[in-house]
Chains A and B, each alone.
Chain A
Amino acid sequence: MPHLEIDGKPVEVPAGTNLIEAAKRLNIEIPHYCYHPGLSVVGSCRMCHVEVELNGRQSVVVGCNTTAADGMKVFNNTEAIHRIRSGVLEFYLQHHPLDCPICDDAGECDLQNYYMLHGLHDSRVELAEKQHKHKVHDVGPTVVLDSERCVLCSRCVRFCREIAGVDELGIFNHGDDSELLNVPGKLLENDYAGNVVDLCPVGALTDKNFRFKRRVWYLKRTPSVCTGCSRGCSIYVDWEISRSYKDPQRRIQRLKPRYSRLVNEWWICDRGRYSYQAVDATNRLTVPRTKSENGSAITLNAVLDRAAEKIKAALTKHGPKSVAVIASASSSNEDLFLLKRLFADELKVHSLDVTLSGAPKGKEDGILMKADWSPNRRGAVEIGVKPWGGGGVAGDDIVAGALDGDYEVLIVVHHDLTRSLSQKERNKLDQNCDYVLYLGTHENGMCHLADDVIPLAMWAEREATYANFQGRVQKTWRPFAPLGDVLCEWRVWQELGKRLGHALRGDSVADVFDSIGTVVASFKGLTWEGIPATGQMLTGVPEPPYRKVQSSHPLPAY
């Protein structure tokens, strides 16, 4: 492990570390544009020059392409380096448009930041000689290109080729006519296109979904986990709720990837990136509903009372086999644990399951996207939300049985059964099943079919844990309260349990999580407080080997 000094501070790094990464360990930033730890090194931006002394020889090198060596002294702050940086910056600024007042990137722009740190020079450019390139160019369905702002760092080009495995962006022409663009008829539309906005150090590539929505210095950032599929990429939720004069219903402004070495590295897919739109969608369920009073509003207590009544009656008259629960692998560990405790352990309901064959699923692309769109199937498996007791039936059979009138009470969480039921079948279900209770988040067919509807808080409005396909338990943090103050699923089961005479312990979500380990072996030893930001493996499940997140057929950078 080479020992070196950066600005007089000692640091030890693994062999093969470049100087930018070495400096990061000391919280020293060597300015750069084209370098990115997830992409190939191209050394084209020329911002990361540093002075280096090794074996008595002094030189000026680019930090991204220089490997830390034992005994090396790196100088990041000298007069000479300042002059070089200032000089290179001036070249960037020559044709860069004065768009700051209207550019999304203001506040997180590396040109602004480096100018304030390393530039601060006056312009000596003749305005009449300024170059003009494409502005507001529709480069793809989710991204807008302003190639005048572009600093030609080629991160986006290299990302598409090396990570997404597609060739959708190129740098055309030569000299100062060089321009980042797509070819006519071919758009930037791969499943990971949104990452280029994260990568772009300036405002050349901006996200259509965020464009002009909020200034970034108003944003608050909360770490969380994407619930779009079973990978559970680490993300940040960037949100802002105090500026109610502008789009007040839009609480989440955008999602950004959060680095997680063994899950998603620096990237997220577009489906996950834009999944925040569902959280603030206008068809969110915010109040309980009941059919018995023509779908009008009703208090949660009234719904819970009635649900408890119906369950008690069914159990008394026909026994546990008259109740069935179709739970969801989109629920958190806390939700599923209390669900199982209440229905399986206490009420002895045998027919409960999370799996339905008709549930929507995606493609497994070998990069990030998993076919299984539920974030917590592993959790459901570990906790044991499945049919049991020789007589318990699986999800599809529960639906079939409900149509045939096998159940008095059917409880459905999240799944919209009406998507795979014909009108006739829906009527049959309505007729043959005495009481259907639906717990969900959005307006859908189940809301009209169910007798009672309880709205639930979504992942971005709550603290929860989910176990991804690797067996990694990951936490969300809560940025703001749920719409309409709706409850988390596990609280609903607690309330229901109370009314059924079964106290399910847990004052807080941390309490509930901590108690899972007392029952489920794979959760033993895991505590809410103890789970780090990048999650913790279930007990007995080893960390997966490191795998570079990229297409199985990457293209070369150039």
Chain B
Amino acid sequence: MDIPETLIRKAEEIFFSFPPERRESALVSIMFEAQRELGCITPDTERWIAETVGVSLVKVREVLTFYSMLRRERAGKYLIQFCHNISCCLAGAEDLQRLVEKKLGVRNGETTADGLFTLRYAECLGGCSWAPMMLVNEMQYYQLTPEKLDRIIEGFRSGRPVAPDEPTPLLGNVGEKTVA
């Protein structure tokens, strides 16, 4: 199969980060990178990974099916990972869930008919103090309100995405400037 040059180079970097006699340790990282480049892990990709890393097909599939971020089928252009854990629910995520489902016309795990959005409910994404939060592909969005959520989705639809909240806002006393 045709592996993009960029992935081959990234794989080499990853192998370099492990001792040479521990090449198999690169399996999780390489699969993660392969998915970023290729969109998902197909059986052909599994075979390439098994060969390159030097592990069995069984091992490759064990890792592929174990880690919930790794997927065997492509997602839409924008994968929305919407946190449905405690702090986000305390901040009203369940209401926002109903909104986003209605707006996109899909439920958890489904992709919109135009292939633009896949909606997935995720476990705690580490944004509890800025809840509710979501990830769109690799971009983090916090303090969602119905209005902000709407703006973000429209932004992706129109090709003028709303900038992600990078870095995470400094809420709490960690954001205070003065220190004794």
Give residues in B with beta carbon < 8 Å to A.
Answer: 43, 56-59, 61-62, 65-66, 68
Contacts and interface: CB of A to CB of B under 8 A. Distances in A.
Interface of A: 167-174, 182-186
B66 A172 contact: yes
Contacts of A183: 57-58, 61
Given A167-B58, A173-B66, 16 more contacts: A167-B56, A167-B57, A167-B59, A168-B58, A170-B58, A170-B59, A170-B61, A170-B62, A171-B62, A174-B66, A183-B57, A183-B58, A183-B61, A185-B57, A186-B57, A186-B58
Contacts of B66: 172-174
B26 to A, nearest CB: 16
Nearest to B57: A183
A379 to B, nearest CB: 42
A171 B62 CA distance: 6
Interface of A, secondary structure class, is loop
A557 to B, nearest CB: 12
Contacts of B68: 174
Contact of B65 (A173, A185, A186): A173
B77 to A, nearest CB: 27
Nearest to B24: A556
A183 B56 CA distance: 10
B4 to A, nearest CB: 25
A187 to B, nearest CB: 11
Name the 10 nearest CB pairs between A and B, nearest first: A167-B56, A170-B58, A172-B65, A167-B58, A170-B62, A173-B65, A183-B57, A174-B66, A183-B61, A183-B58
A518 B20 CA distance: 63
Contacts of A174: 65-66, 68
Contacts of A182: 58
A59 to B, nearest CB: 32
Contacts of B62: 170-172
Report which residue of B43, B58, B68 has the largest number of chain A beta carbons within 10 angstroms of its beta carbon.
Answer: B58
Contacts of B43: 184
A167 B62 CA distance: 11
A170 B58 CA distance: 6
Contacts of A167: 56-59
27 contacts: A167-B56, A167-B57, A167-B58, A167-B59, A168-B58, A169-B58, A170-B59, A170-B61, A170-B62, A171-B62, A172-B61, A172-B62, A172-B65, A172-B66, A173-B65, A173-B66, A174-B65, A174-B66, A174-B68, A182-B58, A183-B57, A183-B58, A183-B61, A184-B43, A185-B57, A186-B57, A186-B58
A115 to B, nearest CB: 30
B45 to A, nearest CB: 14
A547 to B, nearest CB: 26
A184 B43 CA distance: 9
Nearest to A558: B62
Contacts of B59: 167, 170
Nearest to A181: B61
A173 B62 CA distance: 7
A171 B61 CA distance: 9
